[in-house]
Amino acid sequence: MVDVIVFAVAGLIVLAGGLGVVLNSNPVRSALSLVASFFGVAVLFVLQEAHFLALVQIVVYAGAIVVLFLFVIMLLGVDEVEDLSIEPLSGQRIGGLLAGAALLVFLLGGLFLSGGDEGAVAVTGTESVTQPIDETQPNIDNLATDLFGRNVLAFEATALLLTIATVGAVVLVRNAGAEDLSVDEPGRADH
Amino acid sequence: MTLAFLAQQTIERIPFDSPTIDWHAFAPEAILLAWTCLVVVVDMVGLERARRFMPGLTGVGFLLATIPVLTLWNDGATRSLFEGAYVVDRYALALKGLFLISGYVVVLLSTQYMADGDYYDSEYYILLASSVLGMTVMASARDLITIFVALELLSIPAYLLAAWRKRDLKSNEAGLKYMLMGIFASAIMLYGMSLLYGVAGDTRLSVIAEKLTSEGTKPLLTLAALFTIIGFAFKVSAVPFHTWAPDTYEGAPTPLTAFLAVASKAAGFVAMVTIITTAFPGQADVVEPFMWVLSALTMSIGNLIAMRQTNIVRMLAYSGVAQAGYIMAPLAVYSQTGQNGVSAASAIVNYLIIYSAMNLGAFAVVIAAARKTRSGEISSFGGMLNYAPGLTTAMTVFLFSLAGIPPMGGWLAKWQVFSVLLQSESTWGTTLALVAAVNTVLAAFYYLNVAKQMWFMPAPDGDTSRVRVPPSLVAALAITVIATLLSGVTGLVPDITDFGSIALGR
């Protein structure tokens, strides 16, 4: 019973946070709503006994990533209310609303109709089929075994992926038109 | 308590068997990765002096990585790594070969283009190699996590490269549109994948297949399957998820457009085929009608819009959309044809190989011609027979092949797709074959229009000075012409029909 209540409260926080991200016209408030949503997700992780993930959720997502978002928002100076009265494409907003509502009905319908009798995929607030892999061991051990065992390839590929993304981002944003290009990179300006 | 003592305690407590890695099976990826690192180091040490060796060096890397693909193919055994999450069989090997050779041809296409313009070309080749690495991983991935990471590894360099002509607004638009759409698609796909994991409790496709079969058809599984497929439908630019393709293709550097239109699209198909045939053998009643609609829409709308294009790159973009429709057609009947979808998968792989050869070739001609005409308009190809007979002949081969006229390779590819559709002996299969047949006729119209321009129309402005085709483009044209003709005339395509047991999880 407690599980269900905690689930409901955390779920509400997640939903409210998500709505806040979309509905706030001020990007700073949107980012802060995102933090609330992340905290809700962290509680849901705790409910599934994924304590390590809950911690990571707060430290990495709520802590690091959203702070980065806020930095970007404030550095770019877009922390002002945008004029949302202009509709670039006529009928776009109505269309978007309808499509969103249709998707919501579709998803909720799918979830509720799938309940069945065994309840494995129903919305009950009980633990999912993916329980802790091994009850006798802490989550973090299991995660480590899994990450460096079966998923080591994906793990290493992710490392490469992050490097590539950094290299590409640096190349794309560096100001090649500037006169002093040849200072830090001799020869490039010749071409 | 010292830190060392703590570490000691932990090591004793966790039982950990490091995974055994079959290095022969993993050799293509390992070589490509090591070589990419080498290219990075050479770039770092050599700076400007190393710049002109970059294309050659990257090309050699692709060719070196092809060697273990060949030895593994000769060996013929199906190798399974990481508890079935990574499988090297003939299906995977044929595709790895395709990706590596396409990568090599794209390097050949890029060599002169990149050297002429003001680009960061060392980074270009490094990103290209990483993207191809992602594709080779994708060919073997039989696990949701590996598939997702491979997809991102092949997409993110492509997003960056699409915007590589930094000072051109069109290129910026190309990169941004491609990235936003790609991320949107990834998000939808991840949602589908998380639902799949939630139901099955495992990320391996073979295990998911077992669990899904016992679960039967529930609305939730339908959602999961459709969302996962929609993610890949974006990648292969299937209608109605194709809107990014023409703008991205037009704005990106042309050699990269060739890469996106061929290798990137092929990788999306690989993931789609692997997931559908491996994880959804029991969901055919949901997936097949969906693929039927997707395929029919994609080929019809792609062809109708392609007819109205006046820019050759946009025309090839929409023709690529239409071709994607033919390629995915066998998936509409995958459960009703031989060996649980193996014949469908085989038809798709062969189509992808032939499509890559002819489309890369067509782009090679466009790049070569643009060096003289400086234009992407179809009318600028007028009278090319007089001043560039070689290019004209090559382009005609590719156009005939794309239209599916024997004896070019495109004919064999289409024939295989039609035979799979008709083998199913179902109304669905037959009607889709009819739709495809009508579309093939429609497509011939705009492909042959370009050929007509080249053979019979006068050159615009009467300018008949010769086109200088750099040696790298000649090599690319030679490879693609030979592949297109050889596959069509001799019917020589890799036989991957032993793709089965492990890959399908039974």
- Please determine, for residue B101, whether its predicted confidence score (pLDDT) is greater than 90: yes
Pick the range with the lowest mean pLDDT from A17-31, B222-236, B338-352, B492-506: B492-506
Distance (Å) from the alpha carbon of B91 to chain A's nearest alpha carbon: 20
Alpha-carbon distance of B175 to B490, in angstroms, equals: 40
The verdict on a CB contact (< 8 Å) between A152 and B137 is no
pLDDT tens-digit readout, B169-185: 888 888 889 999 999 89
Looking at the structure, do residues A108 and A152 belong to the same domain, yes or no? Answer: yes
Judge contact between B249 and B261, C-beta under 8 A: yes
Q: Write out residues in chain A with pLDDT < 70, as ranges.
A: 78-84, 114-138, 175-191
Looking at the structure, do residues A106 and A151 belong to the same domain, yes or no? Answer: yes
Which residues from A are below 8 Å from B156, CB to CB? 161, 164-165, 168
List the domain range (segments joined by +) for residue B90: 22-503
Looking at the structure, do residues A66 and A143 belong to the same domain, yes or no? Answer: no
Looking at the structure, do residues A37 and A19 belong to the same domain, yes or no? Answer: yes
Looking at the structure, do residues A36 and A101 belong to the same domain, yes or no? Answer: no
| A119 in any annotated domain | yes
Contacts of B116 (CB under 8 A, 6+ apart): none
| A189 in any annotated domain | no
Which residues from B are below 8 Å from A139, CB to CB? none
pLDDT tens-digit readout, B24-42: 888 899 999 999 999 989 9
Its ipTM equals: 0.82
| A181 in any annotated domain | no
Amino acid at position B277, single letter: T
| B8 in any annotated domain | no
The verdict on a CB contact (< 8 Å) between B123 and A106 is no
Residue from the list B17, B33, B145 with its beta carbon closest to the beta carbon of A154: B145
Q: Please give the pLDDT value at position B484.
A: 87
| A33 in any annotated domain | yes
Distance (Å) from the alpha carbon of B457 to chain A's nearest alpha carbon: 37
pLDDT tens-digit readout, B281-299: 777 888 888 899 999 999 9
Q: Does an H or E element contain B88, and which?
A: strand B86-88
The verdict on a CB contact (< 8 Å) between B18 and A186 is no
- Please determine, for residue B105, whether its predicted confidence score (pLDDT) is greater than 90: yes
| B211 in any annotated domain | yes
- Please determine, for residue B209, whether its predicted confidence score (pLDDT) is greater than 90: no
Question: What value does the mean pLDDT take over residues B372-376?
Answer: 76
Is the link from the previous residue into B407 a cis peptide, with omega within 30 of 0? Answer: yes
Judge contact between B378 and B449, C-beta under 8 A: yes
Confidence of residue B425 (pLDDT cuts 50, 70, 90): confident
How many structural domains comprise chain B?
1
Is the pTM above the cut of 0.80?
yes
- Please determine, for residue B352, whether its predicted confidence score (pLDDT) is greater than 80: yes
The verdict on a CB contact (< 8 Å) between A164 and B130 is yes
Residue from the list A116, A145, A168 with its beta carbon closest to the beta carbon of B160: A168
Question: What value does the mean pLDDT take over residues B376-389?
Answer: 81
Q: Please give the pLDDT value at position B130.
A: 92
| A185 in any annotated domain | no
| B238 in any annotated domain | yes
| B414 in any annotated domain | yes
Q: Among B302, B337, B319, which Cα is nearest to B404's? A: B319
The verdict on a CB contact (< 8 Å) between B160 and A172 is yes
| B13 in any annotated domain | no
The strand pairing partners of B141, in sequence order, are B86
The verdict on a CB contact (< 8 Å) between A157 and B145 is no
Is the link from the previous residue into B55 a cis peptide, with omega within 30 of 0? Answer: no
Mark which of A78, A99, A123 sits at the end of a domain: A78
| B252 in any annotated domain | yes
Which residues from B are below 8 Å from A114, CB to CB? 218-221
Looking at the structure, do residues A102 and A127 belong to the same domain, yes or no? Answer: yes
| A74 in any annotated domain | yes
| B15 in any annotated domain | no
Q: Please give the pLDDT value at position A186.
A: 42
Looking at the structure, do residues A73 and A111 belong to the same domain, yes or no? Answer: no
Token pair recorded at residue B122: 């060392």
How many structural domains comprise chain A?
2
Looking at the structure, do residues A69 and A101 belong to the same domain, yes or no? Answer: no
Which residues from B are below 8 Å from A130, CB to CB? 197-198, 201
CATH number reported for the structural domain that contains residue A26 in this entry: 1.20.120.1200
Alpha-carbon distance of B459 to B384, in angstroms, equals: 7
| A111 in any annotated domain | yes
List the domain range (segments joined by +) for residue A122: 86-176
Looking at the structure, do residues A74 and A25 belong to the same domain, yes or no? Answer: yes
| B461 in any annotated domain | yes
Question: What value does the mean pLDDT take over residues B428-444?
Answer: 89
pLDDT tens-digit readout, A76-109: 776 555 666 777 777 888 888 899 899 888 888 8
| A99 in any annotated domain | yes
Q: Please give the pLDDT value at position A122.
A: 47
The verdict on a CB contact (< 8 Å) between A157 and B153 is yes
User: Can you state the percent helix, strand and coil of chain A, rounding each to 5?
Assistant: 70, 0, 30
- Residue in chain B closest to A138 (alpha carbons) equals B14
Alpha-carbon distance of A146 to A148, in angstroms, equals: 6
Distance (Å) from the alpha carbon of B304 to chain A's nearest alpha carbon: 25
Alpha-carbon distance of B160 to B21, in angstroms, equals: 32
Q: Tally C-beta pairs within 8 A across A and B.
A: 125
Measured between CB atoms, does B114 come within 8 Å of chain A? no
